[in-house]
Structure 1
Amino acid sequence: MTEMRSAVERVAHSIHRRGLTHGRTGNLAVREGDRILVTPTGVSLADVSSADLSVLDAEGRHLEGPPPTKEAFLHVAVLRARPSAHAVVHTHSVHAAALSCLADLDQVEPLPPLTAYYGMRVAPLEVVPYFAPGDQAATGAVQRAATRSHALLLRNHGPVIAGVDLDAALDAVEELEHTAHIFFLTSGMRTAPLTTQHLAALQPQPRQEPTS
């Protein structure tokens, strides 16, 4: 698990350095076997240390290390819903958080697919109703949304995104933030989002068996 611990520290520091979080907000988790490593409570991502991470079991019970982030249940719920995912990143990045606060937010397509990389790394984006930070009553809503998409937007809060590893989850978080920024920059202007056909063409194609 040493390699996983180093990855958590590296990505946590990268998230803070890229300005995707502020203060002591944001948290991340990585799964290895039946254990989940999560960032501890009350620690800025800039100061996360590989030696001081919380260890949970698959049900979210605290096994060792410092007390986990109060939002650890979000990570556990997403990982439970998505067996192929091994990492989750949650930030309060400015433009994605601003998007989550819009009164007229489209619940079906909260962010139009303005770029190909958004289509490849994020879409579809699922909206989760508002719950107070740390309110474990959100568990069911988060888990249900995560069965439909690896990318969630918590109302009046921010994104929670899963990936096959921490780097993939971080790429998706950054792509969501970038596209949300473009969305606000083009507000009031006519845009040309990608079509359903464009999005379909971006998805990995099934491997073709060679013909004899």
Structure 2
Amino acid sequence: MSERELREQIVEHGRSLYARGLTAGSSGNISVRLPDGMLVTPTNSCLGRLEPDEITKLDSIGNVISGRPPSKEAFLHQAYYQSRQSERAVVHLHSTWSVAVSCLTDINPNDVLPPITAYFVMRVGRLPLIPYFPPGDEQLADAVARVARVSRGALLANHGPVIGAVDLDQAVYAIEELEETAKLFMILRGLPTRFLTASQAEKLNPS
């Protein structure tokens, strides 16, 4: 895709995520890797009201080339790309069910969600929990970089999910699957539940 097409794709997905209640207000951010840097949604922007020309373009070391000032979490996306060279897009949301799961005290920090469905395992795989950091704290970059070496997605404690993929379509599909699985997990809590077995999950796991 051309840079213009990528900008328009970010706008399209942002509006769709916002319209379906997967992000609210000015929360959440989207990026796409470029050969010489990345495109990222601007700071204090609503994903439902993005304009292609306002999307920030950063060079390979984070300098602004064009567009509005970048999301204050742009460093999170840069850290992710440094650890996963094959990924070309990252989506970070404050989606309700995933944030709810991230606040629980009895989840496994090494793999937050059990293998409820095959599609979650295929699109997300293992989902570690990253400890809480205040918004904009750049220590989060180191934590994301470490986790991204072993998993394409992570859940930020009391914050929300972040996940990448080979292109923006796939990253959005993955975070949608993650949110739906978080919803299922909360609905099923306390009920006798049949998850995929370790053997079944191993045959599907992408990570």
TM-score after normalising by structure 2: 0.95
Aligned-pair distance for 1:203?
4.9
Residue deviations 1:137-195, cap 9 Å, x none? 21111101011111010011000000111110111101111011111111101111111
Residue 63 of structure 2 is aligned with which of 61, 64, 71?
61
Residue 83 of structure 1 is aligned with which of 82, 85, 88?
85
Q: Provide the residue aligned with 1:115 in structure 2.
A: 117
Aligned-pair distance for 1:80?
1.0
Q: Secondary structure at the match of 1:148?
A: coil
Q: Structure 2: how far apart are the matches of 1:59 and 1:149?
A: 24
Q: Provide the residue aligned with 2:183 in structure 1.
A: 181
Q: Provide the residue aligned with 1:164 in structure 2.
A: 166
Aligned-pair distance for 1:123?
1.3
Q: Secondary structure at the match of 2:149?
A: helix
Q: Secondary structure at the match of 1:202?
A: coil
Aligned-pair distance for 1:53?
0.7
Q: Structure 2: how far apart are the matches of 1:202 and 1:93?
A: 25
Residue deviations 1:24-66, cap 9 Å, x none? 1011000120220000011100111111111112222222211
Q: Structure 1: how far apart are the matches of 2:86 and 2:29?
A: 20
Instruction: Show structure 1 runs of 4+ deviating over 6 A.
Output: none
Unpaired segments ≥5 residues, structure 1: 205-212
Q: Provide the residue aligned with 1:137 in structure 2.
A: 139
* Cα gap change, 1:46 to 1:82, in 2 (>3 Å): same
Q: Structure 1: how far apart are the matches of 2:59 and 2:146?
A: 21
Residue 19 of structure 2 is aligned with which of 14, 17, 24?
17
- Contact (CA 8 Å) 2:37, 2:62: kept in 1 or not? no
Q: Provide the residue aligned with 2:198 in structure 1.
A: 196
Q: Structure 1: how far apart are the matches of 2:108 and 2:62?
A: 32
Q: Provide the residue aligned with 2:6 in structure 1.
A: 4
Residue deviations 1:69-109, cap 9 Å, x none? 10111111101111000000000010000011112221122
Residue deviations 1:107-148, cap 9 Å, x none? 122111101101110111021111011111211111010111
RMSD, aligned CA: 1.1
Q: Structure 2: how far apart are the matches of 1:200 and 1:153?
A: 21
Q: Provide the residue aligned with 1:125 in structure 2.
A: 127
Q: Structure 1: how far apart are the matches of 2:99 and 2:57?
A: 28
TM-score after normalising by structure 1: 0.93
